[in-house]
A and B are shown apart, each in its own frame.
Chain A
Amino acid sequence: MRAADAIIKALEKEGVKHIFGIPGGAIIEVYDALFDSGIKHILTRHEQAAVHAADGYARASGKVGVAFATSGPGATNTVTGIATAYMDSSPIVVMTGQVARSLIGNDAFQEADITGITMPVTKHNYLVTDENELLKTIKEAFHIAGTGRPGPVLIDLPKDVTTAEVEFDYPEKITLPGYRPKYRGHPRQIKKAAELIMKAERPVILAGGGVILSNASEELTKLAETIPAYVATSLMGKGAIPETHPLSLGFIGMHGTKYANYAVQESDLLIAIGIRFSDRTTGRVSDFAPDAKIIHIDIDPAEIGKNIEIDVPIVGDAKLILQELITNITYRKRKEWEDRVEGWKKSYPLRYRKDDEKIKPQYVIEKIWELQPDAIITTEVGQNQMWAAQYFKVKRPRQFITSGGLGTMGFGFPAAMGAKTAFPEKQVVDIAGDGSFLMNVQELATCVDYGINVKVAVLNNMFLGMVRQWQELFYDERYSATCLRCKEMSIEKIAEGFGAVGMTVEKPSEVEDALKEAFEIDAPVVIDFRVDRLENVYPMVPAGAALHEVIDEEV
């Protein structure tokens, strides 16, 4: 059969239900084959958004997300989306068209060396130069994307490969001699870890996105309760334990809760699970958890010892390792430590200055949480993201979707489209800033077209807020290029222009009703919350400071 048809058939075999993408000359054959398929294609308005949508779909559902783009600019537009997925270990497969094999290297029309370009930001990538390798490649790509430490895989498809004749013989097995992820943790290391846990007086668990990726949330909660140990998460780990759980400390790092940061700093044992110790999480590395022995559980051996020295490394899948570990420990109350942490929780709760005149962005998020505690939340990047992380108490894994590693502005809205496509019955809310929202605003057209009824709460301060905050605190209020000067811009009208519902909210008293109304409407809704322009995100650990060196605001 035609290779293009074989590709679609292979995707069906992989259980693909949705593809996000944009067609073009080099991938037109594959789109032709898609025409007859039951797979639903969602035509985005930008390839970057297609990849973010596939990523959001993957993060919400745990399945591999799929995006299509054509060659050249189509392919290069996917790069930010791919890099975002790579940094956060999200399983996606991106298929790009390529010029015909005979033209490769000739600077042909719409030619780009996308496998060369994406080499540093993919888990693996392929240029299919032989149609007989095509099906094997697709099989491998899905396997690589979704197993071990997940990540993005790109397949570049020369046009004449897609028109070639192939036999549909989809491989059952994969032979990758260099790819053998290790799932079971070493029993001796697990024992050692259990011994350290039993001896610890001030144990803290630090959970990252890996816990969510390995579906180990239940085990994590059980481990925390069995020890017992407080649990701080990274931004990516939000939802690994319900944030309403008495042992949850919320998230740590630059804008994490004070009590989470203090608890980690004063711990004598840190049980780090599925976390890569990013600089935003650890603060100044030389002063990170200075008294703690560190146990590190991760499926990627390269993460162990990369940023932080580890006392007990355990390589493998978090779920399996935690199941083992739990059986080796018993409950022992640590009264003194508990009192200490509870004291911090009481003394340093997350708080902000309430205001009757100006809308506080934190207040908007609190209201979203009160009204829709089960909603899937996506965020953009910047102040909006940090406020969302602070004030939306996440109940379950895969509920909070954010660009943690790359910090991609413009991620949240298309990711919300992807999440809503995976779970059409759920409320999906993108918490956005005005700067970020404009970076992929064109996807309103996609939402309207396909009835993807996401809600966008824009915390509009007419600034690139987080950069403005840094300029205020560290650059003598020299607001270089952060004021968006768009008083006249109407997000409401922009939304309406695309055929969505737009709202503008200027008073705190209107916030709740506007949200209630938005959640009732069966259409994409964008609410422009005109928030206090100068509100900052606190607490804050300045870049390069240690986690306990926190700046806070008088309230």
Chain B
Amino acid sequence: MRHTIAVLVEDRPGVLARVAGLFRRRGFNIESLAVGITEKHGVSRMTIVVSGDDRTIEQVTKQLNKLIEVIKVSDVSKNSVERELALVKVSATPQSRAEIIEIANIFRARIVDVARDSLIVEVTGDEDKISAFIDLMKQYGIKEVTRTGKIAMQRGSKALE
């Protein structure tokens, strides 16, 4: 079972290494990890996707909480908005270009760079949508893909503090 865990941490050097190291040495499997600053000065938010049974997730949560710089840990797997962003560089010939743009429009993706024989498309959405888009682009020849990893936030007015 996959879980999405949001972690508020003090924004200090080494925090990411501490968190990542914890996962490695305790044998927890990270699928993705995204970090960014928050609305609060000095506080960063990590979104970690981890797979494991309930006991593993409980241990992940408890062990994360033990880190001095971790302020809050919350499982946001349920009832949340989840997004990922990908940049996809795809080969484009004069013949295929229109088709690619059309597909991009259907996915509400944006063309962010145009070159003679390629395009870069920016696409956001949940994991399935991005995977589906990438899958469709394969027929044109994908040169490069980069994905951010998932970020998530629970619906409603309640906030992680």
| A277 → B minimal CB distance (Å) | 13
Tell me if B55 and A178 are in contact (CB < 8 A).
Answer: no
Residue A451 lies at the interface, judged by CB distance under 8 Å to chain B: no
Residue A302 lies at the interface, judged by CB distance under 8 Å to chain B: yes
Tell me if A119 and B18 are in contact (CB < 8 A).
Answer: yes
- Which of under 10, 10 to 19, 20 to 34, or 35 or more describes the interface residues of B? 20 to 34
Provide the bound-state CA to CA distance between A312 and B65, in Å. 21
Proximity bits, A116-148, B CB within 8 Å = 1, else 0: 100110011001010000000000000010000
Contact of A178 (CB < 8 Å), options: B13, B59, B67: B67
Proximity bits, B47-58, A CB within 8 Å = 1, else 0: 000000001001
Provide the bound-state CA to CA distance between A305 and B66, in Å. 15
Tell me if B71 and A178 are in contact (CB < 8 A).
Answer: yes
Residue A301 lies at the interface, judged by CB distance under 8 Å to chain B: yes
Tell me if B62 and A119 are in contact (CB < 8 A).
Answer: no
| A347 → B minimal CB distance (Å) | 38
- A177-B71, A178-B70, A178-B71 are known contacts. Are A301 and B62 too (CB-CB below 8 A)? yes
- A124-B68, A306-B59 are known contacts. Are A115 and B25 too (CB-CB below 8 A)? no
Interface residues of B in 30-69 (CB under 8 A from A): 55, 58-59, 62-63, 65-69
Provide the bound-state CA to CA distance between A476 and B148, in Å. 56
Tell me if A120 and B21 are in contact (CB < 8 A).
Answer: yes
Provide the bound-state CA to CA distance between A301 and B70, in Å. 15
| B145 → A minimal CB distance (Å) | 31
- Chain A residues whose CB sits within 8 angstroms of the CB of B18 once the complex forms: 119
Provide the bound-state CA to CA distance between A302 and B66, in Å. 8
Identity of the chain B residue whose Cβ is nearest the Cβ of A306 in the assembled complex: B59
Tell me if B55 and A305 are in contact (CB < 8 A).
Answer: yes
Tell me if B17 and A177 are in contact (CB < 8 A).
Answer: no
- Chain A residues whose CB sits within 8 angstroms of the CB of B13 once the complex forms: 127, 129
Proximity bits, A191-214, B CB within 8 Å = 1, else 0: 000000000000000000000000
Identity of the chain A residue whose Cβ is nearest the Cβ of B42 in the assembled complex: A177
- Chain B residues whose CB sits within 8 angstroms of the CB of A176 once the complex forms: 68
- Chain A residues whose CB sits within 8 angstroms of the CB of B66 once the complex forms: 300, 302
- Chain B residues whose CB sits within 8 angstroms of the CB of A115 once the complex forms: 14
- Chain A residues whose CB sits within 8 angstroms of the CB of B67 once the complex forms: 178
Identity of the chain B residue whose Cβ is nearest the Cβ of A121 in the assembled complex: B25
Tell me if B68 and A178 are in contact (CB < 8 A).
Answer: yes
| B159 → A minimal CB distance (Å) | 16
Total number of residue pairs linking A and B with CB closer than 8 Å: 40
Residue B126 lies at the interface, judged by CB distance under 8 Å to chain A: no
Provide the bound-state CA to CA distance between A177 and B9, in Å. 9
- Chain B residues whose CB sits within 8 angstroms of the CB of A474 once the complex forms: none
Contact of A127 (CB < 8 Å), options: B14, B58, B65: B14
Identity of the chain B residue whose Cβ is nearest the Cβ of A116 in the assembled complex: B17
Identity of the chain A residue whose Cβ is nearest the Cβ of B58 in the assembled complex: A305
Provide the bound-state CA to CA distance between A120 and B25, in Å. 8
Contact of B63 (CB < 8 Å), options: A129, A179, A302: A302
Interface residues of A in 291-310 (CB under 8 A from B): 300-302, 304-306
Identity of the chain A residue whose Cβ is nearest the Cβ of B66 in the assembled complex: A302
Residue B82 lies at the interface, judged by CB distance under 8 Å to chain A: no
Provide the bound-state CA to CA distance between A305 and B54, in Å. 11
| A98 → B minimal CB distance (Å) | 14
- Chain A residues whose CB sits within 8 angstroms of the CB of B58 once the complex forms: 305
- Chain B residues whose CB sits within 8 angstroms of the CB of A116 once the complex forms: 14, 17
| A180 → B minimal CB distance (Å) | 10
Residue B10 lies at the interface, judged by CB distance under 8 Å to chain A: yes
| B46 → A minimal CB distance (Å) | 13
Identity of the chain A residue whose Cβ is nearest the Cβ of B12 in the assembled complex: A126
Contact of A302 (CB < 8 Å), options: B17, B62, B68, B69: B62
- A120-B25, A177-B71 are known contacts. Are A301 and B17 too (CB-CB below 8 A)? no
Provide the bound-state CA to CA distance between A119 and B25, in Å. 11
Tell me if B21 and A119 are in contact (CB < 8 A).
Answer: yes
Interface residues of A in 87-129 (CB under 8 A from B): 115-116, 119-120, 123-124, 127, 129
Provide the bound-state CA to CA distance between A540 and B22, in Å. 34
- Chain A residues whose CB sits within 8 angstroms of the CB of B72 once the complex forms: 178
Tell me if B69 and A178 are in contact (CB < 8 A).
Answer: yes
| A196 → B minimal CB distance (Å) | 22
Provide the bound-state CA to CA distance between A300 and B66, in Å. 8
Tell me if A302 and B55 are in contact (CB < 8 A).
Answer: no
Interface residues of B in 93-139 (CB under 8 A from A): none
| B85 → A minimal CB distance (Å) | 28
- Chain A residues whose CB sits within 8 angstroms of the CB of B65 once the complex forms: 301-302
- Chain B residues whose CB sits within 8 angstroms of the CB of A177 once the complex forms: 10, 71
- Chain B residues whose CB sits within 8 angstroms of the CB of A306 once the complex forms: 59
- Chain A residues whose CB sits within 8 angstroms of the CB of B25 once the complex forms: 120
Provide the bound-state CA to CA distance between A119 and B17, in Å. 9
| B39 → A minimal CB distance (Å) | 15
Proximity bits, B65-97, A CB within 8 Å = 1, else 0: 111111110000000000000000000000000
Provide the bound-state CA to CA distance between A305 and B21, in Å. 22
Identity of the chain A residue whose Cβ is nearest the Cβ of B72 in the assembled complex: A178
| A174 → B minimal CB distance (Å) | 11
Provide the bound-state CA to CA distance between A94 and B70, in Å. 22
- Chain B residues whose CB sits within 8 angstroms of the CB of A123 once the complex forms: 68
Identity of the chain A residue whose Cβ is nearest the Cβ of B62 in the assembled complex: A302
Provide the bound-state CA to CA distance between A218 and B14, in Å. 42
**Interface residues, chain A, CB within 8 Å of chain B?**
115-116, 119-120, 123-124, 127, 129, 144, 176-179, 300-302, 304-306
Nearest 8 CB-CB pairs, A to B?
A302-B62, A178-B71, A124-B68, A178-B70, A177-B71, A179-B68, A120-B25, A301-B62
**Interface residues, chain B, CB within 8 Å of chain A?**
9-10, 13-14, 17-18, 21, 25, 55, 58-59, 62-63, 65-72
Given contact pairs A177-B71, A178-B68, A302-B63, a sample of 14 additional A-B residue pairs in the complex whose CB atoms are under 8 Å apart: A119-B18, A119-B21, A124-B68, A127-B14, A176-B68, A178-B10, A178-B71, A179-B68, A300-B66, A301-B62, A301-B65, A302-B66, A305-B55, A306-B59
- 18 A-B Cβ contacts within 8 A? A116-B14, A116-B17, A119-B14, A119-B17, A119-B18, A120-B25, A124-B68, A127-B13, A129-B13, A144-B68, A178-B10, A178-B71, A178-B72, A301-B62, A302-B59, A304-B62, A305-B58, A305-B59
